[in-house]
A and B are shown apart, each in its own frame.
Chain A
Amino acid sequence: MFWNEEINEIKKRDTLSKKQGGEESVKKHHEKGRLTIRERIDCLLDSETFDELGVGAGVPVFDDNNELIDFQPANFVLGFGEVAARKVIIGGEDFTLKGGSPNPAGLRKSVYAEQLALQYKIPLVRLHEGGGGAVGGTSQNKNHRPLGEPVFNMSRFYSLAQTLGVVPVVTAALGPVAGLPASRLVASHFSVMTKNAAVLIAGPQVVKRALGKDLSKEQLGGPEVHLKSGVINNLAENEEDAFNQIRTFLSFMPDNAWQRPKRIVCSDPANRRDEELASIVPKNSRQPFQMRKIIRHVIDLEKEETTFFEIGQKFGPSLITGLGRMQGHSVGIIANDCMYYAGAMTSSAAQKLRKFVDFCNSFHLPVLSFVDEPGFMIGPDSESAGTIRFGTEAISAVMQSRVPWASIQVNKAFGVAAQAHFGPQAYVLSWPSAKTGALPVEGGVAVAFSREIAASPNPEQRQRELEDLLATSQSPFPKSEGFSVHELIDPRETRPKLAAWLDLAIGSQTEPAKPFFATMRP
């Protein structure tokens, strides 16, 4: 062999690089109950499929005789791998080296992750744990004067923004994530955090100096904060659970925006009619019910388990969003949860809806919309949260939707906000429990007939009479007579009807799949 010496040095560098932050640092990391980035990648990927890029990126250390004695690797591990036998790009910060705060080679590799995704058009998975830049710069050389990026370089955020329209991006926060990694974390279609993770713009010390507030990492950006803020979609019990959720999410997705999700074999019969569907919505409209039960009865079961995968339950909780399967097809699911403000559209629910509909359009997921919309949330908090604008933005997103869309009028569909549940050319089914109109009678009558009610000798009785009278006009039967719904059905027929429709709708798509772009919205 001519190149024995060099080949040995490659091997030596490879071994030194994989020591990560060194034994002591790795041990400390394990003591906190966390896996290292290399262990994480191995856990998430199919066995022995990791094909690393840039093991040799980093800074070698030589002794006086110019012998290699150490190697400080890039603190971002990157490569290709497979999840359920499908190729992905995977990467994440190495917290055992400088707490994941980017060193120069680490920064280059992290930015390259998105460029790779754009080039090879396969899903991108990022496992985050690390800080952002340091005030002294990222160089290991203390006398180094930071020169910045060349002016002709494309901003690192260019590819970050591009990827969202091109490939599925999935991220996890598996420890403290701050600054640049936090920004990349939220630039995703699905994000998950473990219980001991925190997501921060800036950490406790910076906050204390700037604002005089003494708060822990968890108080600033723990799961309690960020599941509700919408920064993160789902909570994971532990890292393994986070990896399982990532696998599940990816199972619904195509590789990129030029493909449609692949249909899988479905053993659940299309004509399954669950009896309970006829008795979930109570006759008394003041009593709430479990919308998730309805979703579970209608969509596919796989080995008797639901295929429903909910995304972002805690943010804007009056709206339910998630993925599921219908006859083996991936579908996006939207529904109201009347346990929260009767299912009313709050500002956060509207933002959640807008993002979810754009996501479904980006990856060609047909939408099933289970409607129980009493209208926009009312009151001073809702007004100051800008609900009408975010709500109208959500409606605009729905109007620009191009995916097959079915709406099931389960219960209420009132006011402007109801429009956010019916996509263009939607297939509309109505249940006998459906009630529609400009305003629910309970509030509407009191306003519209205020004089008549006040002039009556028994105002309360008159209000009730008027409410009963007008309630009949909100019944689904006249809507069915007027063909303003496709069909008024026995709720037990929902699954067979949707299954048959979805086959037709998917079969009728003649245009090739391509990336989705939307215009300016309110």
Chain B
Amino acid sequence: MEKNINTHVAGQVWKLEVAEGDHVSKDQIICIIECMKMEIPVLAPVAGELSKWLVSSEDIVSEGQVIGILTAEE
């Protein structure tokens, strides 16, 4: 099942910590958004495989934006 990854804050994508195709566990830090001079982690909502990033480093994102797609483990 595909699951959207949302950012809970607006800011600038600083680092994507995993690559497309990587396996991630629940609550693993998968991306870091720079917001108000702080590095805010985005956590994997579920365990699974990161199927697609919809943003890249230095992109500006808004609150609640879908930044990637995760294929959840069965």
Q: Which residues in A have some Cβ–Cβ distance to B below 8 Å?
A: 285-288, 317, 338-342, 344, 374, 377, 381, 440, 442-443
8 Å CB contact of B39 from A287, A341, A344, A440: A287
A522 and B31 alpha carbons, distance in the complex (Å): 40
Instruction: Count how many chain B residues have C-beta atoms less than 8 Å from C-beta atoms of the other chain.
Output: 10
A340 and B9 alpha carbons, distance in the complex (Å): 6
Shortest Cβ distance from residue B37 to the other chain A in the assembled complex, whole angstroms: 5
- Let me know if B37 and A288 touch, CB within 8 A: no
- Let me know if B8 and A288 touch, CB within 8 A: no
Residues A443 and B37 in contact in the complex (CB < 8 Å), given A340-B8, A340-B9, A341-B9:
yes
CB nearest to B36 among chain A residues: A342
Shortest Cβ distance from residue A89 to the other chain B in the assembled complex, whole angstroms: 39
Beyond A340-B9, A342-B36, 8 additional contacts (C-beta under 8 Å) are A287-B38, A287-B39, A288-B39, A342-B35, A344-B36, A381-B10, A440-B37, A442-B37
Task: Write out the residue numbers on chain A whose beta carbons fall within 8 Å of the beta carbon of B37.
Answer: 285-286, 342, 374, 440, 442-443
Shortest Cβ distance from residue B36 to the other chain A in the assembled complex, whole angstroms: 4
Shortest Cβ distance from residue A345 to the other chain B in the assembled complex, whole angstroms: 11
B36-55 near A? 1/0 per residue, CB < 8 Å: 11111100000000000000
- Let me know if B38 and A342 touch, CB within 8 A: yes
Shortest Cβ distance from residue A514 to the other chain B in the assembled complex, whole angstroms: 41
Please, could you name 28 A-B residue pairs with CB atoms under 8 Å apart, sorted by A? A286-B37, A286-B38, A286-B39, A287-B38, A287-B39, A288-B38, A288-B39, A288-B40, A288-B41, A317-B8, A338-B38, A339-B9, A339-B40, A340-B8, A340-B9, A341-B9, A341-B35, A341-B36, A342-B35, A342-B36, A342-B37, A344-B36, A374-B36, A377-B36, A381-B10, A440-B37, A442-B37, A443-B37
Shortest Cβ distance from residue A254 to the other chain B in the assembled complex, whole angstroms: 36
Shortest Cβ distance from residue A344 to the other chain B in the assembled complex, whole angstroms: 6
CB nearest to A228 among chain B residues: B64
A440 and B38 alpha carbons, distance in the complex (Å): 12
A443 and B36 alpha carbons, distance in the complex (Å): 9
CB nearest to B8 among chain A residues: A340
A344 and B9 alpha carbons, distance in the complex (Å): 12
Task: Write out the residue numbers on chain B whose beta carbons fall within 8 Å of the beta carbon of A340.
Answer: 8-9
A286 and B38 alpha carbons, distance in the complex (Å): 4
Interface of chain B residues 1 through 56 with chain A (CB within 8 A): 8-10, 35-41
Shortest Cβ distance from residue A315 to the other chain B in the assembled complex, whole angstroms: 13
CB nearest to A374 among chain B residues: B36
A440 and B56 alpha carbons, distance in the complex (Å): 28
Task: Write out the residue numbers on chain B whose beta carbons fall within 8 Å of the beta carbon of A339.
Answer: 8-9, 40
A231 and B52 alpha carbons, distance in the complex (Å): 35
10 closest Cβ pairs, A-B complex: A342-B36, A342-B38, A442-B37, A286-B39, A341-B36, A288-B38, A286-B38, A344-B36, A287-B39, A288-B40
CB nearest to A287 among chain B residues: B39
A344 and B8 alpha carbons, distance in the complex (Å): 14
Task: Write out the residue numbers on chain B whose beta carbons fall within 8 Å of the beta carbon of A285.
Answer: 37-38
CB nearest to A443 among chain B residues: B37
CB nearest to B37 among chain A residues: A442
Shortest Cβ distance from residue A314 to the other chain B in the assembled complex, whole angstroms: 10
A442 and B35 alpha carbons, distance in the complex (Å): 13
Shortest Cβ distance from residue A493 to the other chain B in the assembled complex, whole angstroms: 27
A444 and B37 alpha carbons, distance in the complex (Å): 12
A443 and B35 alpha carbons, distance in the complex (Å): 13
A340 and B35 alpha carbons, distance in the complex (Å): 9
Shortest Cβ distance from residue A184 to the other chain B in the assembled complex, whole angstroms: 31
Task: Write out the residue numbers on chain B whose beta carbons fall within 8 Å of the beta carbon of A440.
Answer: 37
Shortest Cβ distance from residue B20 to the other chain A in the assembled complex, whole angstroms: 26
Task: Write out the residue numbers on chain B whose beta carbons fall within 8 Å of the beta carbon of A381.
Answer: 10
